[in-house]
Amino acid sequence: MRAASGPTAVGTELAATAADERVALIDPRFVGHTHALRLALRDPRFAAGALPGVLAVGPEARHALPRDPAGDPQAATEALEAAGVQVHRPELGTLVAAVPADDAARAEAEEAVAAVDGEAVRLRSAVKSRDGFFTTFCISPYSRYLARWCARRGLTPNQVTTASLITALIAAGCAASGQRWGFVTAGVLLIASFVLDATDGQLARYDLQYSTLGAWLDATFDRAKEYAYYAGLALGAARGGDDVWALALGAMLLMTARHTVDFSFNEASHDVTGNTSRTAALSSKLDSAGWTVWARRMIVLPIGERWALIAVLTAATTPRITLVVLLVAGTLAACYTTAGRLLRSLHRRARTDRAAEGVRALTDSGPLAELSGRLLRPLPLPRLGVPAVALLGAAVILATAWAAPLGSAWPVAAAACYALCAGVALARPLKGPLDWLLPPVFRIAEYGTILVLAARADTDGTLPAAFGLVAALAYHHYDTVYRIRGGTGAPPHWLVRAVGGHEGRTLLVTVAAALQLGDGDRTQGFTFALTTLAVVVAAVVLVESIRFWVSSQAPAVHDETGEPA
């Protein structure tokens, strides 16, 4: 970044600056905290940032600057906004940023600067304003100092994120040992990984080191760490003669479905400005009362509480107990959050086109659903008919996969019915009050079908293969979420078609089960089919995902919401 101050030769200075550099105009009378300047000048997420007497402009907005801004940041800011450039004005809180008009005002501003410890404010602002109880009181009080230590040694958030991943993978490896020392070490390392996970975001906020690659790593590594740890627990249990792969796969299904409920509900609420329901009023009231805030944040089992629970149980008990407790706690949390969202939704108006398209993209529906939707579009449905049809299709395929004889054609017929139901549900804009339920219903149907058929196959390697397939699918679905969150829309349509859509993959899995599970001597063929599908999906999705996230079009958007993860 180059800075120019004062009216003299500002235009010349700007012209001499490389086009790919960020530039700043600073009024020489400016008085304020260094961190206030940093917030306006260095944040790479915004094309332009402004404070009183300060303007920073990134390369993408340089074209809108006047040729000779005459050293007046305020006039240049107005010119940028008139040209349609969105200028970010950071919230300063107790920080000071002013342009005093006279000596008395300058002395007052300097006194205000001296009265506030800018470094302490910078440390506090490195922590999310809304986070879980465990993270807030057990991790952030010291992880923020670790973030500062990293910043002073030139470490980047991406390096810390990678260290967190490596630590979690080592923890999973220790759990896979099946020995008590391995379980204890795994629990300790899992907490260490979470400390680093908190540190990377705090480092990004502390030093304003936001990046496109960092957004991708931060968004995806949490899931990779957690699901790899589930696999480690299953491997460790297997070494002790206990098969818990079904529990591990069930935990992954539950967590992904929970997150999909959160993502889909928030996407459906994209353009909602308020909610007058009694549920929303009660929620606001509880959020304004001391202990209920933390109680509600703990009930939903956010990532901090969840990882602490997993770590303690791993060290003190067995993988089976760990996964069973996790499933019970996760189910209770899912019931609590989903019930609240259902009650809120019943009182909301019709969704906007933007929200409806976001929910549709999250369904991950492929060519079979599109075809059946076009054929069955004239079918009339009542107000809540869309989620009812989706639930019917999911119930049919799950019940048939559970009860039909192995190797029979009934699951294939049920999967075809499921594809038809998906098409009927998607044949109209998803603007109904509960239409946001479609993505989580489809996740449960697809993952659940794979889990049920793999568990019933009762063959060595089938459940691990199913775990790998669901892990690849979960990555694809999380990648879709984070693209939409970044404002770049869903993955390209060709990608969804290439991996078949949720209904196409479900049909393919049932066909493989019908062909391979009818004869006890051929059950390994089903394992091979699941493994092949997992490899194909992972390869196609990962290549496209990496291409997108390392491209210049990908957003540098980090999660600042504090939502449970």
Give the confidence band of 220 by pLDDT, cuts at 50, 70, 90. confident
Whether residues 193 and 135 fall in one domain: yes
Cα distances (Å, whole numbers) of residue 273 to 351, 361, 390, 400:
12, 22, 28, 42
- Is 479:491 a contact under the CB 8 Å cutoff? yes
Whether residues 307 and 454 fall in one domain: no
Stated length of the chain: 565
Among 160-174, 203-217, 294-308, top mean pLDDT goes to 160-174
pLDDT at 454: 96
Whether residues 73 and 156 fall in one domain: no
Question: Does residue 123 form part of some domain?
Answer: no
**Does 99 score more than 90 pLDDT?**
yes
Tell me what the mean pLDDT of segment 289-305 comes to: 82
Instruction: Name the residue range of residue 55's domain.
Output: 7-116
Tell me the β-bridge partners of 245.
none
Question: Does residue 334 form part of some domain?
Answer: yes
What is the per-residue pLDDT across 398-445, written as a single tens digit (0 to 9) for each?
999 999 999 899 999 999 999 999 999 998 889 889 999 999 999 999
Whether residues 296 and 356 fall in one domain: no
What's the rounded Cα separation, in Å, for the pair 494 and 500?
A: 10
What's the rounded Cα separation, in Å, for the pair 85 and 544?
A: 30
Question: Does residue 122 form part of some domain?
Answer: no
Tell me the β-bridge partners of 56.
24, 49
Domain boundary among 83, 116, 149: 116
Per-residue 3-state assignment (H helix, E strand, C coil) for 270-284? CCCCCCCCHHHHHHH
What's the rounded Cα separation, in Å, for the pair 537 and 475?
A: 10
- CATH classification of the domain holding 370: 1.20.120
- Phi then psi for residue 97, to 5 deg, are -150, 115
CB-count burial class (<10 Å; 0-12, 13-18, 19+) for 393: buried
**Does 257 score more than 90 pLDDT?**
yes
What's the rounded Cα separation, in Å, for the pair 424 and 161?
A: 42
Whether residues 156 and 95 fall in one domain: no
**Order of strands across the sheet that contains 48-51:** 2-4, 23-26, 54-57, 48-51
**Does 562 score more than 60 pLDDT?**
no
Domain boundary among 95, 116, 137: 116
What is the per-residue pLDDT across 191-202, written as a single tens digit (0 to 9) for each?
999 999 999 999
**DSSP for 2-29?**
EEE-SSTTHHHHHHTS-TTS-EEEE-TT
Type of residue found at 197: D
Domain boundary among 341, 360, 382: 341
Q: Terminal CA-to-CA distance of the chain, rounded, Å?
A: 35
Mean of all residue pLDDT scores within the chain: 89
Question: Does residue 480 form part of some domain?
Answer: yes
Residue recorded with tokens 């060595």: 460
Question: Does residue 279 form part of some domain?
Answer: no
- Is 355:264 a contact under the CB 8 Å cutoff? no
Look up residue 364 and give its DSSP letter.
Answer: -
Range list of H helices, 240-318: 245-268, 278-287, 290-299, 303-316
What is the per-residue pLDDT across 38-97, written as a single tens digit (0 to 9) for each?
999 999 889 999 999 999 999 888 888 877 666 678 888 988 999 999 999 999 999 999
- Phi then psi for residue 49, to 5 deg, are -135, 145
What is the per-residue pLDDT across 495-506, written as a single tens digit (0 to 9) for each?
999 999 999 999
pLDDT at 533: 97
Question: Does residue 58 form part of some domain?
Answer: yes
What is the per-residue pLDDT across 115-159, written as a single tens digit (0 to 9) for each?
999 999 999 999 987 788 899 999 999 999 999 999 999 999 999
Range list of H helices, 346-461: 353-363, 367-375, 385-403, 410-425, 438-457
pLDDT at 281: 54
Look up residue 60 and give its DSSP letter.
Answer: G
What's the rounded Cα separation, in Å, for the pair 490 and 363?
A: 11
Look up residue 208 and give its DSSP letter.
Answer: T
**Number of CB atoms found within 10 A of residue 458's CB:** 13
Q: Which segment of 30-34, 117-121, 524-528 scores lowest on mean pLDDT?
A: 524-528
Cα distances (Å, whole numbers) of residue 106 to 26, 95, 415:
16, 15, 73
Whether residues 331 and 431 fall in one domain: no
**Does 381 score more than 90 pLDDT?**
no
**Number of CB atoms found within 10 A of residue 117's CB:** 12
pLDDT at 326: 98
Tell me the β-bridge partners of 57.
23, 48
Number of domains in the chain: 3
Token output for 274: 């308020």
pLDDT at 50: 95
pLDDT at 4: 47
Whether residues 24 and 45 fall in one domain: yes
Q: Which segment of 94-108, 363-377, 425-439, 540-554 scores lowest on mean pLDDT?
A: 540-554
pLDDT at 69: 66
Cα distances (Å, whole numbers) of residue 187 to 138, 226, 233, 237, 255:
16, 12, 11, 15, 20
- At 499 the three-state DSSP class reads coil
What's the rounded Cα separation, in Å, for the pair 72 and 7?
A: 7
**Does 283 score more than 60 pLDDT?**
no
Token output for 493: 């349509």
Tell me what the mean pLDDT of segment 525-549 comes to: 94
Q: Which residues contact 264 (CB under 8 A, 6 or more apart)?
A: 359, 362, 436, 437, 438, 439, 440
**Does 308 score more than 50 pLDDT?**
yes
Tell me what the mean pLDDT of segment 17-44 comes to: 90
Whether residues 470 and 432 fall in one domain: yes
Whether residues 387 and 292 fall in one domain: no
pLDDT at 128: 86
The H or E element that residue 196 is part of is helix 180-207
Question: Does residue 215 form part of some domain?
Answer: yes
| Rounded (5°) CA angle 324-330-331 | 90
Whether residues 529 and 406 fall in one domain: yes
Question: Does residue 426 form part of some domain?
Answer: yes
CB-count burial class (<10 Å; 0-12, 13-18, 19+) for 141: exposed
Tell me what the mean pLDDT of segment 293-315 comes to: 92
Whether residues 202 and 299 fall in one domain: yes
Give the confidence band of 347 by pLDDT, cuts at 50, 70, 90. confident
What's the rounded Cα separation, in Å, for the pair 386 and 438?
A: 8
| Rounded (5°) CA angle 30-35-38 | 80
pLDDT at 487: 76
Residue recorded with tokens 């302490």: 120
Whether residues 314 and 417 fall in one domain: no
Percent of all residues in the chain with a pLDDT value above 70, rounded to a whole number = 90
What's the rounded Cα separation, in Å, for the pair 480 and 278?
A: 32
- Is 319:233 a contact under the CB 8 Å cutoff? yes
- CATH classification of the domain holding 143: 1.20.120.1760
